[in-house]
Amino acid sequence: MLELHAINKRFTRRLFMQKPQIVTAADQISFSLRSGMTMGLIGESGSGKSTVGELIVGLQQPDSGRICYKGKCVADMTKAERQQYRCEVQLIFQNPYDSLNPRMSILESVSEPMRIQGLFASKSETRQEALRLLSEVGLSEQYADRRPYELSGGQCQRVSIARSLGIRPKVLVCDEIVSALDVSVQTQVLLLLQRMKQTYGISYVFITHDLSVVRLIADELLVMSGGRIVEHGNTGTLFHDPQHPYTKQLMTSIPKPRYGYKETEPMAQQLAVYS
């Protein structure tokens, strides 16, 4: 579905009365994402995880390297192909309150992307689809006319997911989307993502610093440090037999398995136990 080839991104940091500093946010980043796969991207703050997510969705442009989608490089796409790419590769932000317009109702927030893309011929069809998506993420019609400040953090994150699903994405980049939520709400969001993956065949790039979460949801892991990928492999393998010193250091910081977690159980059962 998605391939990154030797992606590089550097920023210039300018501090008062000091010489500008070059910060390397992405250094020779390469990986591929298969259809229906969840790729976990872990590392400490400042390791470049969010920058990679922004590069994937086009909020940042790489200094060098290639990003390819379904076999075609994004830089070589026509205007129509790039528009389709922006629909099919979506980003869910960390803070659910900041990612929603406080002046818009929940129904308007979910409907807006579909309206802009012209997916439906009439307002009534767009409204019906928005209500269906809210129901899909576990929110009834009674939430449609509410504003974001009237919802909890977990409910707002569900709205963000429904809004992304409205334009039928194939890849979702999830940038620390459960880090600001309580543990019980984290569980609900993780279960929802897993169900969306099974229902729609969505692929995820799951960015987080919470190893207890990523070990539950990711098929493969990328470990980042200083803008570079220091280790890449199967999730179970990396947790049991990390090779790079930085990965070993991360693994030693993991608390004991919480809430009866058992690695031998299938994902759905693990998350059910986790809740």
Instruction: Give pLDDT tens digits for 148-201.
Output: 999 988 888 889 888 988 888 999 999 888 877 777 778 888 888 888 888 888
pLDDT of residue 255: 54
Residue 160 near residue 92 (C-beta atoms within 8 A): yes
Q: Which residues of 6-24 are buried (b: 16+ CB within 10 A; e: fewer)?
A: ebbbeeeeeeeeeeeeeeb
Mean pLDDT of the chain: 86
pLDDT category at 254 given cuts 50, 70, 90 is low
Q: Is 22 helix (H, G, I), strand (E, B) or coil?
A: strand
| CA nearest to 5, candidates 75, 83, 79, 77 | 75
Residue 264 pLDDT > 60, yes or no? no
Three-state SS string over 218-266 comes to: CCEEEEEECCEEEEEEEHHHHHHCCCCHHHHHHHHCCCCCCCCCCCCCC
State the pairing for strand pair 171-175/89-92: parallel
pTM of the model: 0.83
Question: At 49, is the secondary structure helix, strand, or coil?
Answer: helix
> Which tokens in the block code for residue 226?
């200083």
What is the per-residue pLDDT across 54-90, written as a single tens digit (0 to 9) for each? 999 999 999 999 999 999 999 999 999 998 998 899 9
- Domains of the chain (ranges, CATH numbers): 6-96+174-274 (3.40.50.300)
∠ CA 5-50-204, rounded to 5°: 70
| Residues 102-134: tens digit of each pLDDT | 999 999 999 998 888 888 888 899 999 999 989
The gap from C-alpha 44 to its chain's centroid, in whole angstroms, comes to 17
pLDDT digits (tens, 9 = 90+) for 25-62: 999 999 999 998 999 999 888 888 999 999 999 999 99
